[in-house]
Amino acid sequence: MSGDNKKVRVRFAPSPTGRIHVGNIRTALFNWLFARHNDGEFMLRLDDTDAERSTEAFVHGIKDDLSWLGLSWDLEAKQSERYFDYEKAVRKLTEAGRLYPCYETPEELDLKRRRQLARGRPPVYDRSALHMSDEERTKYEEEGRRPHWRFKLNHELVTWNDLVRGETKIDAASFSDPVMIRQGGGYLYTLPSVVDDIDFEITHVIRGEDHVANTAAQIQLFEALDASAPMFGHHNLLVGVDGEALSKRKGSLSVATLREEGLEPLAINAHAATIGSSHPVAPYQAMKEIAGLFDFTKLSRAPARFDESELRHLNAKYLHEADFATVRERLEKNGITGGEPFWQAVRGNIDVLSDVEQWWRVVDGKIKPVIEDQDFCTKAQSLLPDGPFDEQSWSLWTSAVKEQTGAKGRALFMPLRKALTAKEHGPELKMLLPMMSRGKVSNRLLGRAA
């Protein structure tokens, strides 16, 4: 197979019939990481031959999701714009006797399958269409039947060295000649995909292991078109916590939804790249770090379990370690101008970036304080240290309150926290207090919304 001496070029080939989900992204990510790790190219190929279900809105959605995740592409193509190339391949295969018309209806094919199963035989297509006479074909055409077209497989053992699975063997005689063209003329996945891989010089095809059986037919199709097959790698699939394979119909797992819910693209990428592998699931801070880890030999053969709660936990860890430069632009865009001191103070208390807004309200906005003991808070207000607040102010102030009231521990700190933040938990007040105005602090201690 090819791929050893050429510049690495891989492709991600979604169908624009829906928004992509985390399972799709894992395949896209593996291709992107492999390309970047090998100084290669990543291609976006839109498999939009299903004219009834493919839409431009989904095309834009896919591109938007990939761009947001940082998975930029070097080449782009749409299958709907390449029918001329597919027609050339059809003529070549037909002339070589490798593509042949079949006139059975879906009902007739189903009946054949049931009969074979009843006799204890595998439900493999019997190739009866190869033995039809011209008169029989003419008769079917006159009846209004239109053929579907199958690729005639060589009944032989197909072997390849899979990047993930190692040496892989499939007996092509064990399954039916695959349909390449639907009744009515629409292309199925296999033929356009192989023609594209040839024309765009794809060196490696990286996809889920649910495509393993298809690979044997595709390798034969490459050979029938006088081309060398690329290298193949079939990674383990994602399953949910219930053990079921993820599908694009699970809208809650779509990239668009995760984005709307505030998850970070790097957290999603780190999670997708490391689950189901021997690498730790960790909050990597740059795509370069993740690319440096990529290694097919580290992937497990068992399905990878996707747990949304684990992703959210990783997202929080990522933000807890993120430096200010990473979030500065987004914070300032939302009017949060506390700078690095504010970020350092609050980042350990957020799960998604939008959580910082509640702490910015505490510092610079208006909240209604929670007062448990007004006399205690009034006394604390009278003991506020003079001058501008700094990092020493909290310690000096609470020491004075403790000395004057006798309160200590939770009895000392919780009433002050609730009065100043209206919450029981949060960032260290020694870090928040210097960012708050004296008037705001005084009013809240006196029970006034401020």
DSSP state of 166: E
DSSP state of 277: B
What are the residues facing 231 on neighbouring strands? 204
pLDDT of residue 247: 57
Displacement of CA 142 from its chain's centroid (Å): 49
pLDDT of residue 292: 86
110-155 per-position pLDDT tens digit: 999 999 899 888 899 999 999 999 999 999 999 989 999 999 999 9
**Percent share of the chain, pLDDT over 90:** 79
Round to whole Å and give the CA distance between 278 and 82: 40
DSSP state of 383: T
Number of helices and strands in the chain (H, E): 19, 12
Hey, is 34 helix, strand or coil? helix
pLDDT of residue 386: 87
pLDDT of residue 2: 45
| Token pair for 247 | 């599908």
The mean per-residue pLDDT over the stretch 351-372 comes to: 95
Q: Label residue 4 by pLDDT band (50, 70, 90).
A: low
What torsion, rounded to 10 degrees, do the Cα atoms 145, 183, 174, 231 define? 150
Tell me the longest C-alpha to C-alpha distance in the chain. 109
Q: Label residue 333 by pLDDT band (50, 70, 90).
A: very high
8 Å CB contact between 99 and 180: yes
**Pairing mode of beta strands 304-305, 238-239:** parallel
* Mean pLDDT of the residues in the chain: 92
The top-scoring range by mean pLDDT among 1-5, 46-50, 200-204 is: 200-204
pLDDT of residue 252: 55
8 Å CB contact between 382 and 401: no
8 Å CB contact between 383 and 400: yes
Round to whole Å and give the CA distance between 244 and 103: 36
Q: Label residue 1 by pLDDT band (50, 70, 90).
A: very low
Fold of 94-181: Glutamyl-tRNA Synthetase; domain 3 (3.90.800)
pTM of the entire predicted model = 0.88
3-state helix, strand and coil shares in percent for the chain, rounded to the nearest 5: 50, 15, 35
Amino acid at 221: L
8 Å CB contact between 66 and 208: no
Round to whole Å and give the CA distance between 115 and 108: 11
Specify the CATH number for 1-81+236-321; select among 3.40.50.10190, 3.90.1640.10, 3.40.50.170, 3.40.50.620: 3.40.50.620
The residue among 151 and 238 whose pLDDT is bigger is 151
Round to whole Å and give the CA distance between 159 and 215: 10
pLDDT of residue 83: 95
pLDDT of residue 248: 45
Round to whole Å and give the CA distance between 153 and 80: 26
Q: What is the DSSP string of 352-366?
A: SGGGHHHHHHHHHS-
Number of Cβ within 10 Å of residue 12's Cβ equals 25
Q: How far is CA 295 from CA 5, 265, 347, in A?
A: 19, 21, 32
**Percent share of the chain, pLDDT over 70:** 97
Round to whole Å and give the CA distance between 330 and 354: 10
241-281 per-position pLDDT tens digit: 877 776 544 555 889 999 999 999 999 999 999 998 888 88
